């Protein structure tokens, strides 16, 4: 009888440990990883929905903002803001910086975190199947 109790208790503890490990691995999978823009653009399906951190060039247009990298020319993604994240100081500062530097000829670079999501129809902007949803900005600068 005592042996069965020990076995069942051990199996129960093993099950709880396995569930905990599964949760830890899932959380690690969902944390932001740093990738290059070229890696992101070449493997859209791999990164879709997962948080990533990028160092990119930010391009401002009349009806939107896009991100790109000189390492993979003629490639860009439309940048949209996560509605909840817009309220943060970092994103407010980011968009204020962009507005203040709209007329500059110097490139703007930023280290951003977000995720690839499905695009939506939006006003004057052409529909894109995948866009980059901005969640946070850790650094922004003007120039090379």
Q: Kindly write down the DSSP assignment for every residue of 56-100, as one continuous string.
A: EEEEEETTEEEEE-TTSTT--EEEEE-TTGGGSHHHHHHHHHHHH
Mean pLDDT of 80-107: 84
With CA atoms as reference, report the closest residue to 49 among 36, 40, 37: 40
Mean pLDDT of 119-123: 62
Residue 51's alpha-carbon distances to 17, 64, 111, in angstroms, are 27, 22, 13
C-alpha–C-alpha distance, residues 116 and 94, integer Å: 19
Structure tokens of 81? 């803001």
* Residue 24 confidence (pLDDT) above 60: no
The pLDDT value given to residue 27: 40
Structure tokens of 80? 């949209």
Mean pLDDT of 27-48: 82
* Residue 28 confidence (pLDDT) above 50: no
Domain borders along the chain are 1-30, 33-142
Structure tokens of 30? 């969902």
Query: Interior CA angle at 85 toward 84 and 90, to 5°?
Result: 155
Model confidence at 10, pLDDT cuts 50, 70, 90, reads low
Structure tokens of 20? 């905990």
The pLDDT value given to residue 144: 63
The continuous run of DSSP H or E covering 98 comes out as helix 89-100
Is there a contact between 65 and 110 (Cβ–Cβ < 8 Å)? Answer: no
Q: Kindly provide the b/e burial profile for residues 60-73, where b requires at least 16 CB atoms within 10 angstroms of the residue's own CB.
A: eeeebbbbbbeeee
With CA atoms as reference, report the closest residue to 54 among 75, 65, 40: 40
The continuous run of DSSP H or E covering 54 comes out as strand 52-61
The pLDDT value given to residue 134: 93
What would be the CATH architecture of the domain defined by 33-142? Beta Barrel (2.40)
pTM score, whole prediction: 0.71
Of 128 and 88, the one with more pLDDT: 88
């Amino acid at each position: 009888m005592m042996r069965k109790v020990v076995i069942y208790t051990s199996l129960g503890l093993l099950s709880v440990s396995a569930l905990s490990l599964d949760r830890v691995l899932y959380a690690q999978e969902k944390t932001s990883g740093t990738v290059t823009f070229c890696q992101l653009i070449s493997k859209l399906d791999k990164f879709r929905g997962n948080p990533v951190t990028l160092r990119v060039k930010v391009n401002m247009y009349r009806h939107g903002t896009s991100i790109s990298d000189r390492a993979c020319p003629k490639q860009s993604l439309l940048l949209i803001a996560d509605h909840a994240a817009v309220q943060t100081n970092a994103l407010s500062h980011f968009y204020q910086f962009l507005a203040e530097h709209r007329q500059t000829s110097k490139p703007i670079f930023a280290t951003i975190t977000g995720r690839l999501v499905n695009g939506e129809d939006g006003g004057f902007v052409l529909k894109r199947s995948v866009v980059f949803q901005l969640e946070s900005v850790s650094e922004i600068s003007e120039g090379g």
